Structure formats: C-alpha cells, structure tokens
Amino acid sequence: MSILPAHSEPSCADTAKESCALPDPHGALAAACSRGAGEWRVAIKDSLDVAGLPTRLGSAVLADAAPAAAHAEVVAHLLADGRWRIVGKANMHEFAFGVTGVNPRCGTPVNPCWPARIPGGSSSGSAVAVAGGLVDMAIGTDTGGSVRMPAACCGVTGFKPTYGLVSRRGAWPAESSLDCVGVFARDVAMVEAAMTAIVPGFAVADEPRAPVLGVLDPTVADDVGDAVAAAIARWGGACRSRALPGLEAAFDAGMVIIGRESWQALAQFADDPAMGEDVRARILAGRDHAPERLAAAEAVRQVFSDEVDAALAGVDALVLPTLPSVPPMLAEASDPRAVLPLTRLVRPFNLSGHPAITLPVLTAQGLPAGVQLVGRKGGDAALLALARCLWRGLDTFHAGD
C-alpha cells in the first residue's frame, strides 16, 4: 500500500473517479472505477488496494495518498476469476477503527432501508452498496465485527471466514492477529460464489441432511431476542442448548488486542489534525496497554478458542444474535453507551478465529436484527452450506430486493 502525507487542506474528494461511475444515492462509494468485465458488480472496501486508485482508509489524513501500484491479492483473484466487475471502492469508518460507520470528514453512507439509523462499521460502504442494490457483492474487512455488524444493520448477509483463510496481502493494516477479509451479499449463494473466487481451491459444500444447531442465549434486548428465537423456530430443525461463559472476557480481550495493534499501525498519524477526534482517542488509548495486560488477553484468546471448540461438539454450528440491540439512531452515534456494546456478540469470534456469518431478520417492529452462525475453524464451506439451508427456512429479510 502506498501512503503519502495529507496536504495542508485535507479533503476526501476523490480525484480519481472514472467515467463509468454508477448512481450512488446512498454515498456507499469513496471512488468509482471499472476493473474487470464480469456480470457481477463488486465494491471493494477502501482498506484494500486496487491498482491505479489511492487507498485512503476513509481518512482525510490520507487525502494525498498515491495510487496503489498493484491489486490486493483478493482483488487480483476476483479479476482473474472472470465473473466480476469492480465498480468502486467502498467508504468506511475512518482507519477501520469504529463501529458506527459515521465519518464526518469523508461522508457517512446512508443505511438504505433505515436511513435514520447507523449503517454500522467499519465496512459501512460495503454493506450499504449491497443493501442499496448498487452491487451484487462487496468485500470488507472484519477485525472486531466490521463485516457482520454493518451487514446486520443494513439487512444483508455478511461472512467472516476463518482467520487466515483469505489472503490479506495488499490490505490494511499489513499485520493483524484479528482481521479477516470478508464478504457481503444479499444471499448466501452469492457469498459462496465469492469465496470460490477469492480462495484458491474453495469448493461449495452440500447442505447437511439433518443439521443440529447449538443455541446460545446471551443477554440481548427483548425485541432482538424474540426475533432470533422466532427465526430459529420457523426453521424447525434440531437444537441443543450451548453456553460460552467466556464470551464477555473474550470481548474485553479483543478490545485490548485491537487497541494495541491499532496503536502500532496508526501511531504515525495520531497527531495529524485531519484525523477525527473519535478515532484519535481510541488510538491513543491503545498506546497505554501494559505488556502484562496484553499477555492476559492472549491467554484469554486460547481459553476462549478451546471453549468454542468444545461448544461445537455434537452440533453443526452455534447460533446467537448478531447484535445485542437494534442499531442506534444516527443521533445516538456519539454516545458511548449506545455504541460500545454493539460488537459484544461478534468481536469474540475475531479473537478465537472461528468463521461466522450473519443472516438478516427483522424484529416485530420491522427493525434490523441478525442471526449469527459460528462454525469450526477451517469448516467455512460447511458453515456456508448450513447457512444456505437456514436461509430458506428462516424467512429472512432481503434488503435490496
């Protein structure tokens, strides 16, 4: 990735937009382009390199970033596959370090179905591009729920693969023990098609004949809990009760690790006046994590990973809500009490490295919620096949249809 300092009057206005620009009424794209000649349209989060376009990470700090010299590996795989056409780079929460998707300097993508609510972050533009029908599939990244959370907020499907399955070469940050390149789409079959393109040798699996779900029961808002319970009941398959007592500790450990890794990646920009103050505060907080606290977080990682493996014994996947509550209103996005808990049920699986997918459902009031499935490490194809099976029985909401 090529990065240059920002100029003296930072702006996110894109000087590299190409004549192929599509109508983008929800502000999903940071830059329009045309790469490839396939039938399926794709947006790429602006934290992955697309040759000839700058990678700005949703930040005015990088307003003068040089164009990338080469494609990120996941982009190269998509173009080599031949079925895809990249139509733009998707907007995002600044430096991928926020859960709301609100970006005052570079623009906040509008949640197409619930415009008064946050789009979710950090892969906000990717989720909005899919939900608004601008693209058939979008690529995002998920360090602490940043694919699954905005997917649930916008009413689409979002998949975080097993850690390390999808190449991160050409992605930012260059090093992360949590981050995964993930996929947004309006249905599971399109997610599977994308995985066959971006992971060499990936094969779509057959649906399980008699799947069994391990049902987790974390504390969530009543309307979300009722929506998820009703969706599972409509599916009608076999269920067994499961528990993850270390879920809260895993969330806390994930926060420590992402804080420290983000400080290491972003310290060089921390004093730049063009940086948003919300992001700056989180970066500076990561500076102060003591070595013993990091060591304790790593110990939690191993314990929780083993706990998830044990909970998966005898079931095909774990199921739980994606969000603990419906997405907050944009007016609430600056309130830490409203936004900090939003990744409580997704971030732990970045820590453990297990694959997870969210499917969209609605509350009784017609607001977005999500059903999250968590599978075995390396069992991504099996998890997607199960999700495809549940997709039909869950009577899911289909944004963009």
The catalytic site residues sit at 45, 122, 146
DSSP codes joined into one string, 48-113: B--TTSB--TT-GGGTTPPBPSS--HHHHHHHHHSSEEEEEEEP-SGGG--SS---TTT-PPP-SS
Tell me how far apart the alpha carbons of residues 58 and 47 are, in angstroms, rounded to a whole number: 8
Per DSSP, what are the bridge partners of residue 32?
A: 88
Concatenated DSSP letters of 315-332: SSEEEEES-SSPPPBGGG
**Which alpha helices (DSSP H) does 267-290 contain, by range?**
277-287
What would the two tokens of residue 257 be?
């690790």
| Sign of the dihedral through C-alpha 313, 314, 315, 319 | negative
CA distance from start to end of the chain = 36
Q: Taking a C-beta distance cutoff of 8 angstroms, is the pair 209, 183 a contact?
A: no
Q: Is 337 helix (H, G, I), strand (E, B) or coil?
A: helix
Question: CB neighbours (10 Å) of residue 46?
Answer: 32
Sheet holding 317-321, edge to edge: 29-35, 84-90, 40-45, 137-142, 180-185, 157-160, 356-362, 368-374, 317-321, 212-215, 238-241
Query: What distance in Å separates the CA atoms of residue 177 and residue 168, rounded to the nearest whole number?
Result: 11
SS3 183: strand
On the CB side of 262, how many CA atoms lie within 13 Å of its CA?
26
Give the E-state strand segments of 248-315 in sequence order.
none
Q: Dig out the tokens for 214 from the structure.
A: 């391990």
359's enclosing H/E stretch is strand 356-362
